[in-house]
Chain A
Amino acid sequence: MDTSQIISILSVAIATSTPLVFATLGETITERAGVINLSAEGTILLSAMVGFAVAKTTEGLGTVPSLLLGFGAAALTGAAIALIVAFGALTLMQSQVSIGFVLTLLGADLSSFLGNPFVRIPGPTVPSFKVPVLQDIPVFGPLLFQSDLLVYISFLLILLTWLFFYCTRPGLMLRAIGEQPAAAFVRGTNVVFMRYFYTLLGGALVGIAGAAFSLDFKAGWSHRHTAGYGWIALAIVIFGGWNPLRVALSCYLFGILQSLASVAQSTIPNVPTQVITVAPFVMMILFLVLTSSEWLEKLLKLLPPRIGWAIAQSIHSKPPAALGRVFQQD
């Protein structure tokens, strides 16, 4: 295998992780505000279907308008489902987990039921677009800048989310709300309103992830078209420790592991396929167990303190303290 082959495998892996980047960043924003939107699986399925259906029916308007409408419809679908979660969790103060879970099932079944007329027909897809100049940079050009607009938007989104979290006032308040809502309230924030806002925003991003599948990386629609990705997205948010950069890197890691698995299938054929397809999941579980256990602490103590501290900082993660908990003022 030569370098160009490796680069092409990696670039495909990075590009195909794009829907997961949207979904996981959306979920990260929601969970940082202290709301857990467990419906990602159902949201992605339903919005993938809606996005495809809308783009397909409006195909006559031209590719770009129909795609925009498709993505818009998908985002609205995601926000609408998030609104149900937010209303149930923040206004009715019911269990976020059960609402999310029921919506997962509902979204999945609804997508099959409503999406029936659109199964296995060709539709509009996002055209590829190579960035002039940047695409000629050795290694990085082919790796990052020879795919399509959606991929570049996802890069921008990662950067913006990170900047928002760590360099802006509202971002600081967002982190605060998920940590100690009562203290955020004392500092003059309308906690419930902000939680609504971020739940809807996060839901819209998860919806866009759905359309990113059906209009780009897994173009078309079929029953259970994106099954499994919602759950993976939820796991990656935990894996990424609710930090946008780490979450995005985790998405890429997952994508790379998946494509390595498919390469391995052809290069080492005597290993059963199942072992290879399951490998990424097993590795994630191992990593999670390792980072949340005390072995790691012991291991890190063997390293020089400065390096140990730096590694601990980058691996350790705690969920937002108020995640999933009801905040009631007065």
Chain B
Amino acid sequence: MRVELHNICKRFGSVQANDDVSLIVEAGSIHGLLGENGAGKSTLVKILSGFMTREQGSLQLEGHEVNIKTPADAMQRGIGMLHQDPLDFPPLSVLDNFMVGQPGGLFTHRREVIRKFRQLAVQFNFALDIRQPVGDLTVGERQQVEILRLLSLGVKTLILDEPTTGISASQKDALFAAARLLASQGKSVIFVSHKLEDVDELCDRVTVMRQGRVVGNLPIPAPDAQLIELIFGEELAPPAKNSTCQEGVALALENITIRSDRLNIQVNHLTVQQGEVIGLAGLEGSGQQLLLQLCAGLLQSSTGCLQIKGIDLTRQPYQTYLNTGVGYSPADRLREGLVNGLSIHEHVALKTSSQGWFVDWKGTLKQAQTAISLFNIRGKPDTKVERLSGGNQQRTQLALLPVPLNLLLMEHPTRGLDIGSTLWVWQQLLARCEGGTTILFTSSDLDEIMQYSDRVIVFSGGELSEPIDAKKLTVERLGQMIGGKLHYDSPVMAKRSTKHPAKR
């Protein structure tokens, strides 16, 4: 089915997620939608599938103007979407999941449904046990159930939102084969991804988005360099930081394994100097946060060892990490960083209450006032933290970090901050580095990573690169690595990596 979106606009608060976006997908084709995290790809397809409502713009199917307001509208017109996080019912069986929302009479005619399911599953070569709860399946298998369900409903346009994250290579092959089969039947497929190689392999055409706008529309194959330039912009800010590295190893990781629901992370060997700043680049959810949480003592590795300032902290409790001078500042300030409903003063008191039953309110008030003036927080001691602006919440969070620190772990230190606050925050952080604090931080802003890091580690799908000197990075190289080609080697790197095993 030919799908046209014209001049779509959608705003979330102060963020313009889609700004006058237009997209045309031909029938019988696989159309890639490429871009960084937060480029607006998901928003656009969610509008097409009725999951979100648009503020402006129009939709046309087969040349006819349509109005899609709910997923039911979209389904009825043959548009189905496979969501990035499986939207299914974990305790229900594969068969039940397949049946939920199927039209028909009052009773579910199981036998007939099973026949239909098997028929479709065979056609696409999916091996699924209909009685198993989907909660026990892998992400890839859950996608397969969902795809079969959408097809059974007569979908003519299938949207795949980041489908290759967290699935195995063979599942990916099966998925791509299914997409090609659908295209050959005259259906259209919209493939949303941040992975260059997947788009290269599968799509006929690609539309690139950046910061809520369409920045390019090319036939595939297209040169990688051109695509990367479109995704990330033309140039990165040059590294601006003077090295603050000092003698002495602050953090050493050896043979670490971190497991989470979707990712397995393996760090063979990593050492970080005192005073060094390491930027963790990559799309969100590629494992950066897991590494920070491991270093903070919130996650434990099943193997290997972790040392901070030469002290072995492997499998030690969180309290020991705190005593060793580790600070962690999470991205979600109001959920993990600060306590909703408490004032700045109460936060200071929380931090200092260590001895005795009673809070020394007079003493903590003084401390709170000092913190407010020192960190330039726009608020009073009795201002509740949720009343503060994002920037001031970040300042409060910084004010609450203990001094001195050996290791500071920060997620998105300047997300949602204006330029002034950003500069101020980094001034504070770099001052800490001068004093010997090591910083590991994540950011979705590549400029920020380039500007403030000594070395950069790139994450992609749970794999991480060797730390790379920020001065040696280029847009192209970063783009390639973030897009999944972690071992893309410039000639200089190639020499290095051959040297590396010899060193061991």
Contacts and interface: CB of A to CB of B under 8 A. Distances in A.
Contact of B104 (A169, A183, A185): A169
A22 to B, nearest CB: 23
Interface string A161-176: 0000001111011011
Contact of B72 (A168, A172, A188, A330): A188
A179 B92 contact: yes
B101 A188 contact: yes
A260 interface: no
Contacts of A167: 107-108
A183 B107 contact: no
A321 interface: yes
A176 B91 CA distance: 9
A186 B71 contact: yes
Contacts of B91: 179, 318, 321
Contacts of B88: 180, 183
Given A172-B96, A172-B100, A187-B101, A180 B89 contact: yes
Contacts of B107: 167-169
B90 A188 contact: no
Nearest to A178: B89
A188 B99 contact: no
Contacts, number: 68
Nearest to B50: A186
A172 B91 CA distance: 12
B53 A186 contact: no
A184 B52 contact: no
A186 B70 CA distance: 8
Q: Determine the main DSSP class of B at the interface with A.
A: loop
A247 B72 CA distance: 34
Contacts of A175: 89, 92, 96
A187 B108 contact: no
Contacts of A173: 100-101
B90 A176 contact: no
A189 interface: yes
Contacts of B87: 180, 182-183, 186
Nearest to B80: A186
B477 interface: no
B106 A186 contact: no
A318 B92 CA distance: 12
B358 to A, nearest CB: 31
A154 B71 CA distance: 38
A169 to B, nearest CB: 6
Interface in B59-112: 70-72, 75, 81, 83, 87-92, 96, 99-102, 104-108
Contacts of A184: 100-101
B52, B87, B100, B107, most chain A CB atoms within 10 A: B100
A271 B251 CA distance: 67
A189 B101 contact: yes
Highest count of chain B CB atoms <10 Å: which of A172, A176, A188? A188
B78 to A, nearest CB: 13
B51 interface: yes
B52 A168 contact: no
Contacts of A170: 106
A12 to B, nearest CB: 37
Given A167-B107, A168-B108, A185 B89 contact: no
Contacts of B102: 169
Contacts of A330: 51-53
A157 B49 CA distance: 39
A179 B83 CA distance: 17
A189 B100 CA distance: 10
A176 B92 contact: yes
B89 A183 contact: yes
A302 to B, nearest CB: 23
B174 to A, nearest CB: 23
A187 B104 CA distance: 14
A241 to B, nearest CB: 11
A187 B52 CA distance: 14
A47 B100 CA distance: 35
Contacts of B71: 185-188
Contacts of B106: 168-170
A107 B107 CA distance: 38
A193 to B, nearest CB: 12
Interface in A124-181: 167-170, 172-173, 175-176, 179-180
B92 A188 contact: no
B70 A169 contact: no
A173 B49 CA distance: 20
Contacts of A176: 89, 92, 100-101
Given A179-B90, A183-B87, A188-B71, 12 more contacts: A168-B107, A169-B107, A169-B108, A175-B89, A175-B96, A176-B100, A186-B71, A186-B81, A186-B83, A187-B71, A187-B75, A330-B53
Interface of B: 49, 51-53, 70-72, 75, 81, 83, 87-92, 96, 99-102, 104-108
Interface of A: 167-170, 172-173, 175-176, 179-180, 182-189, 318, 321, 330
30 contacts: A168-B108, A169-B102, A169-B105, A170-B106, A172-B96, A172-B99, A172-B100, A175-B92, A176-B92, A176-B100, A176-B101, A179-B90, A179-B92, A180-B87, A180-B89, A183-B87, A183-B88, A184-B100, A185-B70, A186-B49, A186-B51, A186-B83, A187-B75, A187-B101, A188-B72, A188-B75, A318-B91, A321-B90, A321-B91, A330-B53
List 7 A-B pairs, minimum CB-CB distance, nearest first. Answer: A187-B101, A188-B72, A183-B87, A179-B89, A186-B71, A176-B100, A180-B89
